[in-house]
């Protein structure tokens, strides 16, 4: 998942984020996408006053840090010795059919 990091952009801005209605987006999509690509400020899209989407320069995207949790059984399996090969496993499965 990716989340927007507005922190840096908002610190250097003296203005509010650019807000447009969904109707404006439909009428001028190309221009707005190019504007968002050139700017370090997001363009917030609204539908009847409710924020529904954001157009943003990819530089404002920040990958979300994932916390990886291994299941106990998998962790135990990874610590154990390697037994056989994947070909042996496939042959075992094929033999059971």
5 vs 44, more confident: 44
Give the pLDDT score at 70: 78
pLDDT digits (tens, 9 = 90+) for 38-70: 988 889 999 999 999 999 998 888 777 778 887
Q: What's residue 48's pLDDT? A: 93
* Full set of structural domains in the chain with CATH: 2-63 (3.40.1620)
**The pTM of the whole model exceeds 0.85:** no
> Per residue in 50-81, is it b (16+ CB within 10 Å) or e — as a string?
eeeeebbbeebeeeeeeeeeeeeeeeeeeeee
């Amino acid at each position: 998942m990716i989340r927007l990091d507005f922190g840096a952009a908002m610190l250097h801005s003296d203005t509010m984020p650019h807000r447009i209605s969904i109707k404006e987006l439909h009428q001028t999509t190309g221009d707005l996408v190019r504007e968002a690509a050139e700017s370090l400020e997001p363009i917030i899209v609204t539908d009847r006053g409710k924020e529904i989407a954001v157009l943003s320069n990819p530089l404002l995207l920040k990958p979300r840090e994932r916390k990886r949790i291994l299941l106990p059984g998998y962790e135990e399996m990874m610590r154990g010795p390697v037994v056989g090969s994947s070909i042996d496993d496939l042959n075992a499965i094929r033999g059971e059919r």
